[in-house]
Amino acid sequence: MICRITDTPIDMDELADSLDSPELGGLCTFVGKVRNHSAGQGVTHLEYHAYPAMAEKKMRQVAEEIEERFGVTHLAIAHRVGTLAIGEVAVGIAAASAHRDAAFKACRYAIDRIKQIVPIWKKEYGEDGVAWVEGCAVDAETAEPSKAQKFRV
Amino acid sequence: MKVRVKCFAWAKEVTGEDEIDLEVPESATVADLRVSLAERFPVFSGRMESIAVSVNQEFAGEGTPVDVGDELALIPPISGGCA
């Protein structure tokens, strides 16, 4: 199980290989990359910031939720911090299970849940200026997401 | 008593600090912490509802106690992953 915040490039092969085991027939990966546009505006680069200790703890919580929901125990999550150029990998997820269905579901759940409860922030630099992209105001009791917005700096 | 609070992202930018010290009453809760925060940094007043507080790396409700030895942090809306 990998749950990692890193300031160096994410190696998807390493994440996938960490889940290599003879009983695992389905391996699903998700790669989140830096996109060159946001809300109709050009983006030049991003900065990712994290609260590393809590972020890794919350990633482990996501992994526990995935085990409870889908029975998937083979999961690897890595999230990058620092300045990232267009096309760089911001987040990598690999999930493996005996059969494909659970692996797909685990992978999808992981990325959606990371965006809700893992304390990582994105600062967007673009032709429209600089903004904190604020996806999810965390309600302490429910951790429910709110509508995405931008907060100009 | 004085508690130390970590600041991240927007909260770090507006305070200019990685960590701030806030004076709170004895037996204080997260709600008391917010009162002290808004007094010291009025910029938080307008959007306090969007700022979560964590206590020892868990999101904390308003009634959660805060103490000198706790690891406290201000958590603006998060945007990890990618769309």
Q: Cα–Cα distance between A32 and A79 in angstroms, integer?
A: 9
Contacts of B30 in chain A (CB under 8 A): 140
Q: Cα–Cα distance between A146 and A116 in angstroms, integer?
A: 9
Per-residue model confidence (pLDDT) at position A114: 95
| Chain A CB within 8 Å of residue B18 CB | no
Give tens-digit pLDDT for A89-117.
999 999 999 999 999 999 999 999 999 99
Per-residue model confidence (pLDDT) at position A61: 97
Per-residue model confidence (pLDDT) at position A141: 63
Contacts of A135 in chain B (CB under 8 A): 77-80
3-class secondary structure, A139 = coil
Nearest CA in chain A to B83: A32
3-class secondary structure, A117 = helix
User: Checking DSSP bridges between strand A149-152 and strand A129-134, what pairing results, if any?
Assistant: antiparallel
Give me A62's structure tokens: 């996501």
Q: How confident is the model at residue A143 (pLDDT cuts 50, 70, 90)?
A: low
Provide the percentage of residues in chain B whose pLDDT is more than 70: 96
If you write DSSP's letter for every residue of A56-109 in order, what string do you get? HHHHHHHHHHHHHHH---EEEEEEE-EEEETT-EEEEEEEEESSHHHHHHHHHH
Q: Between A100-117 and A52-70, two packed helices, what is the crossing angle to 10 degrees? A: 150
R_g of chain B, CA atoms, integer Å: 12
Per-residue model confidence (pLDDT) at position A137: 78
To the nearest whole Å, the CA of A58 is away from the closest chain B CA by 8
Give me B42's structure tokens: 């009025």
Per-residue model confidence (pLDDT) at position B27: 96
> Has residue A152 got a pLDDT over 80?
no
| Chain B CB within 8 Å of residue A55 CB | yes
- What is the overall mean pLDDT for chain A? 92
Give tens-digit pLDDT for A2-47.
999 999 999 999 999 999 999 999 999 999 999 999 888 999 999 9
| Dihedral sign, Cα of residue B31, residue A52, residue B1, residue B14 | negative
> Has residue B81 got a pLDDT over 80?
no
Of A41, A49, A77, which to mutate for an interface test with B (greatest number of B Cβ within 10 Å)?
A49
